[in-house]
Amino acid sequence: MHHIGYLLTEGFQVMGLATQTVFEYANKVAGEEFYVLQNFSAAGGDQRSSLGVGIATRKASTADQIDTWVVCGVGNPLESPSSPEERAFLQDVVKDARRVAAICTGAFVLAEAGLLHRRRATTHWVFARDMQTLFPDIQVENDRIYIVDGPIWTSAGMTAGLDLALAMVEKDLGDEVSRGVAHNLVMHQHRSGGQSQHSEMLTLAPKSDRIQNAMNYARKNLARALTVDELAEEANLSPRQFSRVFTAETGMSPAKAIEGLRLEAARLMIEKSRHPLEIIARETGFRDRRHMREVFLRGFGVPPQSMRREVRS
């Protein structure tokens, strides 16, 4: 049996509690009550969330035999720093807990308690630069879904906490159980910690269905050459109209957007497969491995080989 304690700070975001469902379903899939969850706060009693809803908690100092502590984030950690009691508590429990995790901006609480000193960590990208400025001794990686550095786990934005929780389940109960949980929760994939917080498709965010349809078509056909005429036909527009509308809705040309989609697809293949780079370049529509390297350097500042080494490490 594995005991998980959630430390809720004042104004915590309720989305952080959604990760508890991952552990709930892990028990169902495993066919036993492996995880036992409890909510705590420094003072105990009802702890108010960012929505104003109170959640019943136990006083943290009464906690006993907690294997994993999870700290939920708040809306703006710069305006809501942790209390001295919360920091002192975390400094004490880290000695006995198997692991301590932070969801989203909960990483600031760990940082304020000194638990991230000289460690790799991530947080929501909006506050990553602030964290690096306030805590220069931390190696903040602002473009990662989650990071595991020894017993300390940190995740990016709120939904990334689900990926972190699922990774814990995989570590504790194995790949088969974690896949079963993901299937039950309709999580389409288990994102590795090294994945980027950003998606090229989300960044583009076209406003009309016709441009969205063209983008979906492009994403499904990246392995071959794609022309403006072909995409325009998919959007039921003339090539000239398509280019104009596409640029107005996405802020970039069709050619630049397609390059971004190829870059994202190649990055995902590097993170999730062991295919040679030549095959990845071909499958994602780059002319060759050299062309892919040029685009990687422009887009990420590192070549594909370096990204692969980082993911494997």
For 216-225, the pLDDT digits (tens) are 899 889 999 9
pLDDT tens digits, one per residue of 257-306: 999 899 889 988 888 788 999 999 999 999 999 999 999 888 777 889 88
Share of the chain above pLDDT 70, in %: 93
Q: What is the pLDDT of residue 188?
A: 53
- For residue 114, the one-letter residue type is G
DSSP 120-181: EE---HHHHHHHHHH-TTSEE-TT-SEEEETTEEEESSTTHHHHHHHHHHHHHH-HHHHHHH
Q: How confident is the model at residue 310 (pLDDT cuts 50, 70, 90)?
A: confident
CA atoms within 13 A on the CB side of 296: 23
Residue ranges of alpha helices (H) inside the chain are 19-30, 84-93, 106-112, 125-134, 160-173, 175-184, 200-204, 209-220, 228-234, 239-250, 254-272, 277-283, 289-300, 304-312
Q: What is the pLDDT of residue 166?
A: 94
The structural domains of the chain, ordered by start, are: 2-184 (3.40.50.880), 200-312 (1.10.10.60)
DSSP bridge pairs for 56: 46
Please indicate whether residue 129 or residue 271 has the higher confidence score (pLDDT). Answer: 129
Residues 6+ apart with CB under 8 A from 175: none
- For residue 182, the one-letter residue type is A
* Sign of the alpha-carbon dihedral angle for 73, 78, 83, 89: positive
Q: Is the pLDDT of residue 192 over 90?
A: no
Q: What are the C-alpha distances in Å from 65 to residues 15, 17, 68, 71, 73?
A: 25, 21, 9, 17, 23
Q: Is the pLDDT of residue 202 over 70?
A: no
- For residue 97, the one-letter residue type is A
Q: Is the pLDDT of residue 125 over 80?
A: yes
Q: What is the pLDDT of residue 209?
A: 85
Name which of 20-29, 52-61, 204-213 the model is least confident about. Answer: 204-213
pLDDT tens digits, one per residue of 38-66: 999 999 999 999 888 899 999 999 998 89
